[in-house]
Amino acid sequence: MRKQIAAANWKMNLTISQAEKLVNDLLATAHEVKENQQVLLAVPFPYLSQVEKLLAGKNGVAVAAQNCSNKLSGAYTGEVSVEMLSSLNINYVIIGHSERREYFNESNQLLAEKINMALQNNITPVFCCGEALEIRESEKQNEFVGKQLNESLYHLTPDQLKKVVIAYEPIWAIGTGKTASSEQAQEMHAFIRSELSNKYGVETANEISILYGGSVKGANAKEIFSQPDVDGGLVGGASLNAGEFNTIINSLK
């Protein structure tokens, strides 16, 4: 059965002492993570090891990176490879967040290379997709997201695809306080699953966790996560608050 996932995306926030406090506050109030659930903390690169240490022995809670290089090693100043992440026992990486696509010009083709890198190193990619406001307003969102899936994922075998987590994040809902309605989220998630099903078959499609991202908070998580094709959330702003993020974790199915 596919996992229900609450993934925190801290982005470029917090000093190390603030990060430690947040993790300790989270752990102090956290309930047990159930067998079918997974909690991820996608933290800035310099904090991966320290946060991993703080989480030692906590079942169902793992550290994730927010990005990785499409190159394996070498003269790429400032980049972080999947081998480096593996060597720190990091098992998850966010790939293709809309901020990376927008501010760092990451294309669907480049993201396909990053997906391959992660999978070759047994790291689960959390692959982000989602449309901007003007695309939604012109009702081209399915076509747009379909193309993102096609160009970054459809070269994978069914077994490889089963290791990918997908996060649908409409750009107009990220950090704006404007959440997609639970119907809009369900509609897109069902579309994504039907596309995966057309390409890979229904059994494979049903094994993929599809997270929703975009202004998820304690107050709306339960309703969004209750939708049949929504398997949890990728959470930015609200994940910087221990109480909010715990409420979000407790809203998982």
Residues 175-194, mask of contacts with ligand PGA (x by CB under 6 A):
x-------------------
Residue among 99, 106, 131, 169 flagged as catalytic:
169
Chain residue at closest Cβ approach to ligand PGA: 236
Please select the residue that binds ligand PGA; options are 214, 231, 249, 251, rule is CB under 6 A: 214
Does the footprint of ligand PGA cover residue 126 (CB under 6 A)?
A: no
Does the footprint of ligand PGA cover residue 81 (CB under 6 A)?
A: no
In the bound state with ligand PGA, the residue whose beta carbon lies nearer, of 42 and 196, is 42
Beta carbon of residue 96, minimum distance to ligand PGA (angstroms, whole number):
11
Give dist(CA 7, CA 61) in Å, integer.
10
In the bound state with ligand PGA, the residue whose beta carbon lies nearer, of 66 and 205, is 66
In the bound state with ligand PGA, the residue whose beta carbon lies nearer, of 6 and 205, is 6
Question: Is there a catalytic annotation at residue 203?
Answer: no
Question: Is there a catalytic annotation at residue 169?
Answer: yes
In the bound state with ligand PGA, the residue whose beta carbon lies nearer, of 5 and 234, is 234
Contact in structure between 180 and 173 (CB atoms under 8 Å): yes
> Cβ–Cβ contacts within 10 Å for residue 6, how many?
29
Residue among 97, 99, 195, 244 flagged as catalytic:
97
Does the footprint of ligand PGA cover residue 249 (CB under 6 A)?
A: no
Please select the residue that binds ligand PGA; options are 5, 156, 235, 242, rule is CB under 6 A: 235
Give dist(CA 101, CA 122) in Å, integer.
24
Give dist(CA 46, CA 19) in Å, integer.
11
Beta carbon of residue 94, minimum distance to ligand PGA (angstroms, whole number):
8
Q: Which residues, numbered 90-119, are part of the site for ligand PGA (CB under 6 A)?
A: none
Does the footprint of ligand PGA cover residue 213 (CB under 6 A)?
A: yes
Which are the catalytic amino acids?
97, 169
- What residues line the site for ligand PGA (CB under 6 A)? 9, 169, 174-175, 213-216, 234-238
